[in-house]
């Protein structure tokens, strides 16, 4: 007697009639071409696993376990889904040809596909333990982009709050706002874009240990800094999330950049006190050396005095001090070369 979700499935040419104790078949989905996937779950532990089927024949229990020719056919069939995302939103600008999305595949199966596909086509990310940031040393990403001293340590010290997450970019040190929040099962990722350096990076928190510092992923490097045991899986998880959520492009495009008002900059003007009227300025003092202006005779024509426009007074937060003429310093009489010799010999003339 075959199980309903396993109808027509053959292993070594024989129909499947039973499973290991405790395992049940949950779902069966077409993938691409002649490929199907069946999702299983262990009733006691909740662990999930997949069977990959081609033309009704069992091929393996993980994408990595498939024969190279079978694996190549399966992953090549997923190119229309993953290519536009991997070359676009994952580490750069959103591409208009990213139009193929899959919401029907179970996450366990989709992550196997995305992780292996990315590892096949993209350079392998350099993995560094997050403890490297404790030293505060500068580092250079695999693509040559530098990270100055202390920046990575400051970034991995970020803490989430109730507002939109704002962090300091490790590349330009400028504050940047999270563009989108992604729920990755037991983890939460945030996408950031540093416009000055035209770089995209992610911070990822493991929700099972939210007090721990986040993981850092820079697809352009590619560079991955993490203490999390699941750290190496993060790139595939993010790619899978984009391939499942077709609305991510609109959310990222609508995300506004960081503004100084996010940190309260510019609000100090509301605290300024009104200007207190000052007494009328004293009459100008005529310098003794200036000649006294001649008064025109009664018979002379009336002369209109032309004055230069006075500069606009700007408010200063320093106290106004009276300006006094600088003291005149008289330099002592300089001695010639012969006079300096006499001074050294103690024979100055009186």
Mean pLDDT, residues 256-270 taken together: 62
Helix, strand, coil percent content, the chain, rounded in steps of 5 = 25, 20, 55
pLDDT of 14 over the 80 cut: yes
pLDDT in tens, 89-130: 999 999 999 999 999 999 999 999 999 999 999 888 999 998
pTM: 0.74
pLDDT in tens, 284-305: 544 445 555 555 445 444 444 4
Structure tokens at 64: 């990595």
pLDDT in tens, 212-248: 899 999 999 999 999 999 999 999 999 999 999 999 9
pLDDT of 345 over the 80 cut: no
CB 6 within 8 A of CB 16: yes
Of the two residues 109 and 336, the one the predictor is more confident about is 109
The 10 Å Cβ neighbour count of residue 239 is 25
Cβ neighbours of residue 204 closer than 8 Å, sequence gap 6 or more: 184, 187, 188, 189, 190, 214, 215, 216, 217, 226, 228, 234, 238
Residue 134 has what pLDDT?
82
CB 235 within 8 A of CB 182: no
Strand partners, 182: 189
Mean pLDDT, residues 269-283 taken together: 49
Burial (0-12, 13-18, 19+ Cβ within 10 Å), 323:
exposed
Domain limits of the chain? 1-66, 126-259
């Amino acid at each position: 007697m075959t199980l309903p979700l396993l109808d027509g499935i053959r292993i070594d040419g024989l129909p499947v009639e039973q499973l290991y104790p405790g395992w049940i078949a949950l779902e069966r989905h077409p993938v691409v071409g002649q490929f199907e996937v069946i999702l299983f779950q262990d009733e006691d532990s909740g662990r999930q696993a997949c069977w990959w089927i081609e033309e009704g024949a069992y091929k393996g229990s993980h994408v990595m376990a498939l024969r190279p020719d079978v694996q190549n056919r399966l992953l090549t069939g997923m190119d229309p889904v993953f290519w536009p995302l991997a070359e676009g939103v994952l580490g750069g600008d959103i591409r208009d040809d990213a139009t193929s999305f899959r919401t029907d595949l179970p996450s366990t199966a989709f992550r196997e596909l995305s992780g292996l596909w990315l590892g096949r086509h993209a350079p392998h990310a350099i993995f560094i333990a997050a403890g490297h940031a404790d030293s505060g040393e500068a580092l250079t990403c695999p693509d040559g982009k530098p990270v100055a001293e202390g920046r990575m340590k400051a970034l991995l010290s970020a803490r989430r709050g109730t507002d939109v997450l704002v962090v300091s970019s490790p590349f330009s040190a400028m504050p940047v706002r999270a563009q989108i929040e992604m729920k990755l099962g037991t983890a939460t990722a945030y996408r950031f874009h540093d416009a000055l350096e035209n770089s995209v990076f992610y911070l990822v928190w493991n929700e099972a240990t939210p007090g721990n510092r986040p993981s850092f992923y820079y697809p352009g490097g590619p560079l991955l800094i993490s203490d999390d045991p699941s750290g190496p899986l993060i790139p595939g998880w993010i790619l899978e999330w984009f391939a499942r959520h077709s609305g991510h492009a609109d959310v990222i495009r609508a995300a506004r950049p960081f503004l100084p008002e996010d940190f309260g900059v510019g609000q100090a003007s509301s605290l300024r006190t009104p200007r207190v009227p000052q007494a009328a300025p004293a009459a100008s003092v005529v310098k003794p050396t200036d000649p006294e202006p001649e008064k025109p005779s009664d018979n002379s024509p009336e002369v209109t005095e032309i004055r230069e426009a006075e500069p606009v007074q700007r408010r200063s937060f320093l106290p106004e001090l009276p300006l006094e003429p600088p003291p005149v310093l008289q330099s002592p009489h300089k001695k010639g070369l012969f006079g300096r010799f006499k001074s050294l010999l103690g024979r100055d003339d009186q």
